[in-house]
Structure formats: C-alpha cells, structure tokens
Amino acid sequence: MKTNQLSGSVLSFIGDAILSLKVREFLVSKGYTKAKDLQEKSVIFVGAKGQAAFMQDLIDKAVLSDHELYIFKRGRNANMGSVAKNVDVISYRVASGLEALYGYLYYEDIKRLDELFTMMLDFYAHKF
C-alpha cells in the first residue's frame, strides 16, 4: 500500500479501526468481559478527548519524528465533513490526526505502532 497516496481522512479511518482493535484486545487481556465495562473503558482510548490528551502529551514530550508529525497534521487538517456532537472541533481534529498516524504506522511500521500504543497504555495506566 502506498500510504503517500492515501488522504489524511483515509489514514484516520484505518487508524480508528486499528486503535479500536488494539484497545479491545488489551481490555479483554485485562479480564474485562462485561459489555458495559468494555464500553466504558474503551472510551478512555477511543474517545476524541482522550486521544487529543494523549497526542498533546506526545507533542509536549517531543516523542514523534518530523515525518510522524507531518502524518499527524495530514490527518488533523483533513476535511472530515462532520464532528461528533459530544466533543469540541479542536479535540476532534487532533484525535483524527492521531488516528491518521496509527493508520500510517499500521502500513509502514508496526513496531513503532506498538511502541506508541504502549505509550498510550502508560499514559492511561492510572485508569485501570
């Protein structure tokens, strides 16, 4: 797959699915089995506010390469068409950028994707 030919919104679409799957696998591995618990815990990771907070932490700590920041910005600046009702536009766009980065890394660097996901788990460790 030539990721340079994929739009930021397509990378976000793929990244959303990848992140959702990784979160679900993590929660099940932690022993969560009730649908209500799984849903409540997954929102920490897949909700726009949580994703935006984590992304800001990555930026503040200068964890991302210049190219990763470029991919993030492609997703953040993509025209998504709509915004979720329960979140502000800025958080939604930042979350879309993070998802684009996950989508890109899924195709280009699984090891780095796993590193960032581990950082995300560490960022939210106090919630589990």
96-113 tens-digit pLDDT = 999 999 999 999 999 999
CA dist 81 and 9 (Å) reads 10
Among candidate residues 16, 37, 60, 66, the one labeled active-site is: 16
pLDDT at 87: 79
Count of domains forming the chain: 1
Contacts of 70-74 with CB under 8 Å at 24 or more apart are: 71/11, 71/100, 71/101, 71/104, 72/97, 72/98, 72/100, 72/101, 73/97, 74/7, 74/8, 74/11, 74/100
Q: Which residues of the chain have pLDDT under 70?
A: 80-85, 128
Contact present, 42 and 20 (Cβ < 8 Å): yes
The amino acid occupying position 42 is: S
Q: How many CB atoms are located within 10 Å of the residue 63 CB?
A: 13
pLDDT at 104: 97
**Length of the chain measured in residues:** 128
pLDDT at 82: 65
Residue 57 is among the residues annotated as catalytic for this protein: no
Alpha-carbon Rg for the chain, nearest whole angstrom, is 14
Beta strands in 16-72 (DSSP E): none
Q: How many CB atoms are located within 10 Å of the residue 58 CB?
A: 19
Contact present, 86 and 52 (Cβ < 8 Å): no
Whichever domain contains 109, its CATH number is 1.10.1520.10
CA dist 25 and 15 (Å) reads 15
